């Protein structure tokens, strides 16, 4: 076959695209119509779910990360516990997710669970490149863990190692 014979006919391609669009629109209309009919037939008005609006919480029930970070800096100073440089972020020593799983979500905003760190240290810890050492954690973190029965979390070697994997001559 010649290359010119293998080229698609533009008119046929346009016609095929238009047929595909028309078919897709008809199918979508048919599905929408069927769904609404099925929903109406399946559930009477009294059994239909109410609209899914979220209830508004009062401001004091909310945990605001900026306020928490400010309180951590007030408690420990705005100095990174690892490098001694200016801290710009606060790290939850025991993650909020762990607190929520244990039914302690109301303690997520406790500044005793916070550790002031620089952005680089925080990123490297969260990505498991270079973890924050146990020796670097402030005493208030251990008090927080003891109050809520979470000492085991701080003792996990892979999260807060005792000695750095590649010794760099510093222990906070």
At residue 34, the pLDDT reads 54
Residue spans per domain, the chain: 64-154
pLDDT at residue 20 in the model: 87
Residue 37's pLDDT is 47
pLDDT averaged per 10 residues in sequence order, the chain, 172 residues: 69 87 82 54 50 46 75 93 92 92 91 94 89 88 92 78 60 59
Q: Which residues of 41-53 are buried (b: 16+ CB within 10 A; e: fewer)?
A: eeeeeeeeeeeee
- Residue 29 is predicted with a pLDDT of 79
């Amino acid at each position: 076959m010649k290359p010119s014979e293998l080229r698609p006919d533009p008119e046929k391609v346009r016609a095929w695209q238009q047929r595909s669009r028309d078919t897709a629109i008809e199918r979508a209309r048919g599905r929408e119509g069927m769904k609404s009919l099925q929903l109406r037939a399946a559930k009477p008005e009294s059994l239909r779910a109410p609209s899914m609006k979220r209830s508004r919480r009062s401001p004091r029930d909310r945990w605001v990360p900026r306020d928490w970070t400010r309180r951590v800096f007030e408690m420990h100073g705005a100095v990174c516990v690892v490098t001694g440089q200016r801290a710009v972020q606060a790290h939850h020593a025991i993650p909020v997710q762990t607190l929520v799983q244990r039914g302690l979500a109301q303690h997520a905003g406790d500044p005793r669970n916070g550790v002031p760190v620089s952005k680089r240290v925080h990123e490297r810890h969260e990505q498991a490149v270079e973890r924050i050492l146990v020796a670097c954690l402030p005493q208030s973190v251990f008090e927080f863990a003891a109050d809520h029965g979470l000492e085991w979390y701080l003792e996990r070697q892979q999260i807060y190692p005792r000695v750095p994997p590649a010794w760099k001559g510093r222990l906070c």
